[in-house]
Amino acid sequence: MNHCLDTMEARLSDLLQTGLDTGGADAGAAFARLAEECEASGLHTGSTLMERLAGLLEARAHALEKEDGPLLDALFTAEHYIALCRERWQEIEILRGWQEQRKQEGEGGVFT
């Protein structure tokens, strides 16, 4: 899951750093592949967000007048989703560490 989040974050960052210059129709296809990867990793909302970005990028590649608003909105929603996923992942890891500590203490081991 972390690999998928890292990839999502990198792609979104690249898109922002290029000033939303998508690089043509290939950008939409790259986000579509990322959506499949997210789905396979269990990040269903991430998959939906990447599919939305893929569609927007595909449409943008064929538009004469570029509309930044919908693309930026989807991009920032995806960034917020990634931040929430990372926060949840940290909570799970903290809980797992706490449970492991309690288990070791219960078995008579000393945890320092």
- Reported as a single tens digit per residue, the pLDDT across 34-78 is 999 999 999 999 999 999 999 999 888 888 888 889 999 999 999
Maximum separation of any 2 CA atoms in the chain, in Å? 70
Each domain of the chain, given as residue ranges in start order, spans: 2-106
Are the CB atoms for 15 and 22 separated by under 8 Å? yes
Interacting residues of 21 by C-beta distance below 8 A, sequence separation 6+: none
Hey, how many other C-beta atoms are within 10 angstroms of the C-beta on 34? 23
Q: Which residue shows structure tokens 């579509």?
A: 32
Interacting residues of 79 by C-beta distance below 8 A, sequence separation 6+: 9, 12
Q: What is the pLDDT of residue 110?
A: 53
Helix (H) or strand (E) segment spanning residue 65:
none
- Reported as a single tens digit per residue, the pLDDT across 81-107 is 999 999 998 999 999 999 998 988 877
